[in-house]
């Protein structure tokens, strides 16, 4: 809960929310932040991490292990305060979480689903070795606008360890 203030203010930003599912509320209130932190800190092993800059949390990144016939997969999701965009922070966080996920979970593939309009997210995934596996045209609806859903993935055997 010490990160509540540093998370809530930057999260209450349409430029962030417009690229995320509707589960990421806009406007983003203190109540949303509290609920998120409670959810993110209850699981073991931890699978949602704060993105910390100068000792404060300004975003989050998580890995969601899938179930049933999708159990060898995990979904990656993330957001970062807008004033830190373009500084390599999210790229470093993705690299770390991918390595953590492949070392902890019995998975073969990590995927992310950016909107077709979110070119910055596509580029950062590509920079981290994710490849475009599919495009579903006008598959998502955000703010009453149909959006393309892209599927990017990295596979255990294709990643390059540094």
User: Where residue 68 falls among pLDDT bands split at 50, 70, 90?
Assistant: very high
Q: Evaluate if residue 107 carries a pLDDT over 50.
A: yes
* List of domains in the chain: 4-158 (3.40.630.30)
pLDDT bracket for residue 1 (50, 70, 90): confident
For residues 153 and 75, is the Cβ–Cβ distance under 8 A?
no
pTM of the model: 0.93
Band of residue 162 on the pLDDT scale cut at 50, 70, 90:
very low
Q: Taking a C-beta distance cutoff of 8 angstroms, is the pair 7, 37 a contact? A: yes
**CA-CA distances (angstroms) from residue 90 to 9, 22, 77?**
18, 21, 11
In terms of residues, how long is the chain? Answer: 162
Give residue-wise pLDDT tens across range 12-25. 999 999 999 999 99
């Amino acid at each position: 809960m010490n990160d509540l203030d540093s998370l809530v203010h930057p999260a209450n930003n349409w430029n962030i929310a417009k690229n995320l599912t509707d589960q990421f509320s806009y406007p983003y209130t203190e109540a949303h932040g509290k609920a998120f932190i409670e959810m993110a800190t209850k699981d073991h092993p931890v699978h949602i991490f704060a993105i910390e800059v100068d000792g404060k949390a300004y975003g989050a990144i998580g890995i969601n292990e899938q179930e049933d016939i999708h159990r060898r997969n995990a979904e990656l999701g993330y957001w970062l305060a807008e004033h830190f965009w373009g500084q390599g922070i999210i790229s470093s966080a993705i690299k770390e979480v991918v390595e953590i996920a492949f070392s902890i979970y019995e998975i073969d593939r990590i995927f992310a689903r950016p909107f077709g309009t979110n070119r910055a997210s596509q580029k950062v995934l590509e920079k981290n070795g994710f490849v475009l596996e599919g495009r579903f045209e006008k598959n998502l609806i955000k703010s009453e606008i149909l959006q393309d859903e892209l599927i990017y993935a990295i596979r255990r055997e294709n990643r390059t360890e540094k």
